[in-house]
Structure 1
């Protein structure tokens, strides 16, 4: 299982980041596309709960993430 960093940008200064665990980049893209124009909820790495309307997002970036141990 790989870890991917997903960043939702609202404008140049405001964004929310989440981490997902899926098998491949393609599966990460499919997940993000399936959530388009919906409310999603998740808890970030700091333990903060988020509810996000993906309809209001301007840009979404997905990249594989390699945690430093």
Structure 2
């Protein structure tokens, strides 16, 4: 699994480079719109309801699985 836990880093809400692809209970999974990511960057990220960066991953599926583990439905 390529998930990286980041625990609460603030974001700038990703208005220009990120597209929200999934939402659940105000949690968001976003995908980076460009193909110009640095080598260490992951193309998907998970934001909590306060727009804190919680994790990043190579696939949306990984973040959905992680979200299932940390959020009660």
Q: TM-score, normalised by structure 1?
A: 0.33
Structure with max Cα Rg: 1
Query: Which structure shows the bigger proportion of residues in strand conformation?
Result: 1
Q: TM-score, normalised by structure 2?
A: 0.32
Structure number with the bigger relative contact order (C-alpha 8 A, sep ≥ 6) is: 1
